[in-house]
């Protein structure tokens, strides 16, 4: 066979192969895209609001104020009668509504709550440390990483579900985090992920990553920043939650992100300070911030009836007059937490006799949006049982 004949046959073979295989390959590609579209279309949720409340005990969430801590010795309470008038009622059910009215009057009635011991429902942490960085990494990544064993400001080597979703079409520039604790830029690995993380005492209005220049949000947040710069910073690494909440609120109005994470931190710090009265005040304010964000979302057509709210905490606390102030491996029962989900794909139900884990939050965030996170991250836990 001459070189010309061989060359001719090779060209014919390539043309034949392309004619036969190309339609099949294209069909396969279309099928894969169709499957992903169909998975996404099974969910009404188009946006996620994930909120964490640092170190808020399940005891207060499910029973309200703890009467054994409402004194000066155990709880550092300055005005016991006033605190009782605000939060103490005849029953634990009334107590919890007084402390967290939005949670119990709206979220619990429309969504699903996990961790209520009265219903033999347990929500637990799977990392063995029971403090913040390991807990938040577990929440956001979907698994406990034994290498994360401190609160040191080092970049998380794991990819969070926020970063994973940011790589999906429609989420490239639509993920953001507002956090009270200044370690979060490292937990989310802001440098690698490209997700704007406004945290700690960082100014809001002039944060270049938020791109608020010239917006009404920038003007509104300048006032917040002015107040922030003038008031005493009781916690050097944790700003007051009001600043974090206001940043998130104005950003929603201005940028309408599809994926927002808000981390509030005062509950943990007032507990560590031994101030049960201020811990309760922080829990009450947090509930109101969640209510205001949800009310704002429901007032906007981009979010109304297509947004899921996920609410949880990073760890539990001790359960006596001394240990309530702290948490960690040496404090009993710090693995027990709580979580709640409300959205268009989550019909209300009362959870009984079920144990869920903190590590299931990440996959739940993705699943609400129609994505299979554990398929891509095999070590991640499955989603919470929140879908019919």
> Which residues of the chain, if any, have pLDDT below 70?
1-41
- Confidence at residue 40, expressed as pLDDT on a 0 to 100 scale: 47
Is residue 191 a contact partner of residue 156, using CB atoms and an 8 Å limit? no
The neighbour count for residue 346, using CB atoms within 10 Å, is: 24
Pairing of strands 307-312, 259-264: unpaired
> What span, in angstroms and rounded, lies between the C-alpha atoms of 280 and 233?
20
Q: Which of 112, 133, 130 is nearest to 185 (CA)?
A: 133
- Confidence at residue 41, expressed as pLDDT on a 0 to 100 scale: 56
Is residue 117 a contact partner of residue 340, using CB atoms and an 8 Å limit? no
CA distance to 1, 2, 11, 336, 355, per residue, from 6 (Å)? 7, 6, 9, 73, 68
Residues 6+ away with beta carbon under 8 Å from 137 = 127, 144, 145, 148, 156, 158, 160, 187
Q: Which of 267, 317, 320, 319 is nearest to 289 (CA)?
A: 267
Where residue 89 falls (left for φ over 0; alpha for ψ -120 to 50; beta otherwise) is: beta
> What span, in angstroms and rounded, lies between the C-alpha atoms of 72 and 80?
8
Is residue 267 a contact partner of residue 283, using CB atoms and an 8 Å limit? yes
* Mean pLDDT over each residue of the chain, to the nearest integer: 91
- Confidence at residue 353, expressed as pLDDT on a 0 to 100 scale: 96
Tens of pLDDT, residue by residue over 73-119, are 999 999 999 999 999 999 999 999 999 999 999 999 999 999 999 99
Quick check: pTM over 0.95? no
């Amino acid at each position: 066979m001459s070189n010309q004949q061989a060359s001719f046959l090779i060209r014919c073979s390539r043309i034949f192969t392309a004619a036969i295989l190309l339609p099949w390959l294209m069909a396969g590609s279309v099928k894969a895209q169709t499957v992903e579209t169909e998975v996404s279309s099974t969910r009404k949720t188009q946006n996620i609001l994930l909120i964490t409340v640092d170190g808020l005990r399940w005891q207060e969430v499910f029973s309200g104020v703890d009467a054994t801590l409402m004194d000066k010795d155990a709880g550092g309470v300055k005005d016991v009668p006033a605190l009782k008038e605000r939060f103490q009622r005849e029953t634990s059910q009334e107590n919890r509504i007084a402390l967290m009215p939005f949670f119990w009057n709206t979220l619990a009635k429309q969504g699903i709550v996990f961790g209520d011991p009265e219903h033999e429902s347990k929500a637990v942490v799977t990392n063995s440390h029971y403090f913040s960085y390991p807990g938040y990494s577990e929440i956001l990544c979907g698994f406990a990483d034994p290498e994360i064993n401190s609160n040191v400001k080092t970049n998380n080597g794991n990819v969070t579900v926020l970063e994973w979703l940011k790589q999906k079409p429609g989420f490239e520039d639509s993920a953001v985090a507002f956090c009270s604790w200044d370690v979060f830029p490292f937990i989310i690995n802001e440098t690698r992920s490209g997700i704007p993380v406004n945290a700690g005492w960082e100014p809001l209005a002039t944060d270049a990553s938020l791109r608020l220049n010239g917006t009404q949000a920038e003007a509104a947040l300048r006032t917040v920043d002015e107040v922030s710069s003038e008031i005493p910073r009781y916690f050097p690494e944790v700003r007051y939650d009001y600043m974090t909440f206001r940043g998130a609120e104005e950003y929603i109005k201005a940028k309408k992100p599809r994926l927002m994470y808000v981390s509030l931190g005062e509950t943990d710090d007032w507990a560590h300070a031994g101030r049960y009265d201020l811990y309760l005040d922080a829990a009450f304010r947090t509930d109101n911030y969640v209510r205001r964000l949800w009310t704002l979302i429901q007032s906007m057509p981009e979010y109304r009836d297509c947004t899921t709210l996920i609410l949880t905490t990073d760890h539990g606390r001790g359960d006596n007059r001394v240990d309530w102030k702290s948490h960690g491996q040496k404090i009993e029962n710090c693995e027990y937490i709580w979580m709640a989900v409300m959205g268009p794909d989550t019909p209300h139900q009362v959870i009984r006799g079920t144990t869920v884990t903190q590590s299931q939050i990440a996959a739940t965030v993705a699943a609400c949006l129609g994505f299979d996170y554990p398929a891509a991250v095999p070590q991640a836990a499955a989603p919470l049982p929140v879908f019919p």
